Amino acid sequence: MFFEGSEKKAEVVINKNSFSLLNDISDDFWHQLVACCNAKVLSSIKNENCKAFILSESSLFIWEDRFLILTCGITQLVYSIEYFIKHINAKDILHVTYQRKNEYYSNAQLSSFSDDIELLSKYVKGKAYRFGEMYSHHNYVFHQDNQYQVPPDDISYELLAYQIGESASKFLTNKGLTASDVRAFFCVDELLPDFQLDDFVFDPYGYSLNAISDKDYFTIHITPQTDSSYVSIESSLDLVSLAPKIIEILSPASFDLLGFNDHHFVEKIAENISENYVSNSLVSKILDNGNHVFFTNFITPKTQYTSPIRLDINGKNQVI
């Protein structure tokens, strides 16, 4: 069974002097926004500074002045952003960013990154970049081209793990797996002390977790199937410093690390990433909006090689 775990991601910043996304917008609005990309809300948690929704495909986080949404599968996240833009006064939208990474089966997606930014460009003028090599792991980033500058303390990270180890994949595809089982496996209490948690185990496989504490957030999304396993982690916490523990748990064949506005990212990489992994790329750029973006990909050197895989030419995904 194949599922496209690779996510699209968007963040929209508004003028909080006009209204509050957290307090002045109803949940019905967010449910409709999520429905626009063919996903739905499964559950939510809230504190004074943040609300987090677990979605049927990933997560939505809302603060007073911004929201962050990630969706996977074949969702078309760009339609949710279009919905927001159409329903909010343009002068109150300060900045839009949109991100999309390489997929396992890009041909099965309902749109490409180019299609998505063509639609967004009808509403906001912007610039787009590719971080990473076309033939390997890469991330596309689009940002609105205006006077907005990302605050220096707006720091976040992504850790994207591919082809997790056999023991991790086997455990995470156990029948009858519970949310507490996955939390224990991931050492969530150790990684996230004092965080409010919300999680969901999907049938037959898959797991999502949202965690919030004050304005900080942490989210995990797991697609554990052996042939296409993928784990994404997004957080305002320093995932480079947490990477050794996460990599120990997952033992992935490769992983990407992205940093946004952490100017010490390169030094932290050198301090925290095991020599068992080899750097395959390192790209950085300060965007016009002031956001300093870092992208790096690590791989494990191959000592054993696989045999060819026979394809099912009649199958939807053409894989046995």
* pLDDT value of residue 43: 98
**Residue 78 contacts residue 120 (beta carbons within 8 Å):** yes
pTM over 0.85: yes
Higher pLDDT, 5 or 48: 48
- Give me the mean pLDDT over the 217-232 stretch: 92
**Residue 206 contacts residue 190 (beta carbons within 8 Å):** no
* pLDDT value of residue 315: 64
Tell me how far apart the alpha carbons of residues 318 and 203 are, in angstroms, rounded to a whole number: 23
Place of tokens 């968007």: 10
* pLDDT value of residue 320: 41
**Residue 203 contacts residue 52 (beta carbons within 8 Å):** no
The answer to which of 98-107, 188-197, 254-263 has the lowest mean pLDDT is 98-107
* pLDDT value of residue 1: 65
Direct distance between the N- and C-terminal alpha carbons of the chain, in angstroms, rounded to an integer: 9
* pLDDT value of residue 316: 57
- Is residue 312 scored above 80 in pLDDT? no
How would residue 64 be classed by pLDDT, with cut points 50, 70 and 90?
Answer: very high
261: left (phi over 0), alpha (psi -120 to 50) or beta: left
Side chain identity, residue 155: I
- Is residue 292 scored above 80 in pLDDT? yes
* pLDDT value of residue 109: 86
* pLDDT value of residue 136: 87
